[in-house]
A and B are shown apart, each in its own frame.
Chain A
Amino acid sequence: MLSDEGEIARVARESYAWLAPHDPASAVRRATVERGRTRALLIGGTLLFLMLFLFIPLAAVFTEALRNGVGAYVQAIVQPEARSAIALTLLTAAVAVPLNLVFGIAASWLITRFEFRGKNLLSAMIDLPLAVSPVIAGMIYVLLFGEQGWFGGWLAAHHIKVVFAVPGIILATTFVTCPFIARELIPVMEAAGREEEEAALTLGANGWQMFFRITLPNVKWGLLYGLVICNARAMGEFGAVSVVSGHIRGLTNTMPLYVEILYNSYDFAASFAIASLLTLLALLTLAAKSLLARRARRASEASPVHQSVKPAA
């Protein structure tokens, strides 16, 4: 007689043993974690791939930069041409990043707070520069402002140089980096929600008060995250800037362009010295990125307002 429950369970286990392995716990482990050799193979494969494409290149930049010693390294960086390239890079970022910051905030507010016709199209348009090859991004400004361009005649008549000059470099950089802040900000602003903003308005705040006291603090980590990425791309843009720069030494060279010029004149150590500065900037950017992502995660755990920053670039 199968009267008590233990007995029923025993019989059931025996009759259906062919369905499940004998030791359920070990079976679960077998199918949810890899065993030693597989695991070693997976980690090994990962490390080998990253070694070939990340770690060795990273080590090579600094090794090549210091090939002729620290003296030569410093010499390469403090040269007048290097200094003017650094200055132009800083200037470019100082113009392009704030422009795209204001744009990013405006676009995110529009996309996350209002419903309107053509919203999907507008979001797609914001991402448009990401789909355009850097060479084409530079070229469209040559077509507009170059000597044969639409505004070329007018600009020449007024002695304004855009292409093969600093304004062209800034324009091309602004184009290439225009989506980055908006892209990071839109999901964060979406997640922050509108309730606090509506409450502030109901309590008598005006629009700007609401923006500076509620909206901005709520999205600050996402905003900083976008700023950091936008800045890195603005300082590092090569293809688009290469088209519009005209390569005038000491006048229209940003750091990435100067790296190319030195390399092509076989001054490898100097080229890698400038490259190492840009690599340091990239490493700093990545460090700031992961720090900000961690901050944002902690902020979202601590407050009822859900913030999220995706790790995706």
Chain B
Amino acid sequence: MNEENGTPARGFNILPGFGLTMGYTVVYLSLIALIPLSTLVLKTTGMGWHRFWHIVISPRVVAAYELSIGASLAGALINSVFGMLVAWTLVRYRFIGRSIIDALVDLPFALPTSVAGITLTTIYSANGWIGRWLASAGIKVAYTPLGVVVALTFVGLPFVVRTVQPVLQDLEPELEEAAATLGASRLQAFLRVIGPALLPAVVTGFALAFARAMGEYGSVVFISGNMPMRTEVVPLVIMTQLEEFDYQGATAIALVMLVISFAILFLINLLQRWSMRRNAV
């Protein structure tokens, strides 16, 4: 709310509860999130630069970063293409079961990750429903980096669909009609008119899917096989360190992850501001 909407400035606000809700929100957030997260930073600064650097550039950790970033990018990219396709089909076409499919798109968000993990592993392993066909074509999915991509594609599935869908819904048909009367083909109308309007939403969805994939643990732990240097993602390395009670190692790697996540979050905020400005024009 801002003053343009007729909201009175705080001095004239007659609505009660500012002190109460402010106090409660800040105290709750501090206790649940901020203080616990700050221990991570403090614990890392306590270990000294050399030790920190030694941990975060060790070959096993670097291999995990590479796999995490690469597989997350691949998953987010697959989701960008197919997410747009799914959003298009859901918005533009009417078919039986459309509303059920629409609701099911959020399944990866509602399904516990361990359930997703064991299920994907079962169907994509060499004797699974899908894995069997892929295996006869010489493609191994479970216990390879490809399996990690499959899991990360699954967890990121809702994001692009849900960012693109509302934009596509609000897109004025006049724009496409205008393109048509000016002689554009369907492909041209898509590339020159619809595409640019969808772009900010697709990029935002891509970033959200990527961010989610980077931190994902549950669905990856089963299908990846957890082989160091080959199929181990960063959250898995952190988990292994914790299980070995190597808290210094775990915190150092976690801090790097946290910085990456916040950078992505910041980027998403910028993207959303960009897309809002695009929509306002």
Interface residues of chain A, those whose CB is within 8 Å of chain B, are 19-21, 24, 27-35, 38-39, 42-43, 45-46, 49-50, 52-58, 60-61, 64, 102-103, 106-107, 109-110, 112-116, 122, 124-129, 131-136, 139-144, 146, 148-150, 171, 174-175, 178, 190, 194, 197-198, 201-202, 207, 210-211, 229, 232-233, 235-239, 242-243, 255-257, 259-260, 263, 268, 271-272, 275, 278-279, 281-283, 285-287, 289-290, 310-313
Within the complex, the shortest CB–CB distance from A52 to chain B, in Å, comes to 7
Q: List 16 A-B contacts (CB under 8 A).
A: A19-B183, A32-B173, A50-B105, A54-B104, A109-B17, A128-B33, A131-B262, A133-B261, A146-B247, A232-B110, A238-B112, A242-B218, A272-B118, A286-B104, A289-B103, A313-B162
Partner of A21, one of B159, B183, B269: B183
Is B274 positioned at the interface, with any CB of A under 8 Å from its CB? no
Tally inter-chain residue pairs, CB-CB below 8 A: 321
A237 partner residues in chain B, CB cutoff 8 A? 112
Within the complex, the shortest CB–CB distance from B233 to chain A, in Å, comes to 10
A236–B118 alpha-carbon span in the complex (Å): 14
Contact A45 to B265, CB < 8 A, known contacts A109-B17, A113-B13:
no
Q: Quick one: closest B residue to A201, CB to CB?
A: B14
User: B186 near A30 (CB under 8 angstroms)?
Assistant: yes
Within the complex, the shortest CB–CB distance from A280 to chain B, in Å, comes to 11
A211–B20 alpha-carbon span in the complex (Å): 14
Q: Quick one: closest A residue to B40, CB to CB?
A: A140
User: B25 near A106 (CB under 8 angstroms)?
Assistant: yes
Is B109 positioned at the interface, with any CB of A under 8 Å from its CB? yes
Is B166 positioned at the interface, with any CB of A under 8 Å from its CB? yes
B74 partner residues in chain A, CB cutoff 8 A? none
Contact A106 to B261, CB < 8 A, known contacts A50-B86, A139-B242:
no
Task: For the complex, count residues of B whose C-beta is within 8 A of A.
Answer: 106
User: A256 near B258 (CB under 8 angstroms)?
Assistant: no
Partner of B111, one of A106, A136, A279: A279
Nearest first, the 10 closest Cβ-Cβ pairs linking A and B are: A133-B215, A31-B180, A236-B112, A239-B217, A207-B16, A282-B110, A140-B36, A238-B218, A312-B162, A110-B21
A175–B32 alpha-carbon span in the complex (Å): 6
A158–B179 alpha-carbon span in the complex (Å): 74
User: B265 near A131 (CB under 8 angstroms)?
Assistant: yes
**Which secondary structure characterizes the binding site on chain B?**
helix
**Which secondary structure characterizes the binding site on chain A?**
helix
- The residues in B between 110 and 156 inclusive whose CB is less than 8 angstroms from any CB of A are 110-120, 122-123, 128-130, 153-154
Partner of B103, one of A60, A109, A148, A290: A290
User: A259 near B114 (CB under 8 angstroms)?
Assistant: yes
A242 partner residues in chain B, CB cutoff 8 A? 217-218, 239
B67 partner residues in chain A, CB cutoff 8 A? none
A305–B184 alpha-carbon span in the complex (Å): 41
Within the complex, the shortest CB–CB distance from B99 to chain A, in Å, comes to 7
Q: Quick one: closest B residue to A108, CB to CB?
A: B21
A146 partner residues in chain B, CB cutoff 8 A? 247
A194–B111 alpha-carbon span in the complex (Å): 36
Contact A31 to B185, CB < 8 A, known contacts A114-B10, A141-B36:
yes
**How would residues 238 to 281 of chain B score, 1 for a CB under 8 Å from any chain A CB and 0 otherwise?**
11001000010011001001100110110001000000000000
Within the complex, the shortest CB–CB distance from A306 to chain B, in Å, comes to 13
- The residues in B between 160 and 182 inclusive whose CB is less than 8 angstroms from any CB of A are 162-163, 165-166, 173, 176-177, 179-182
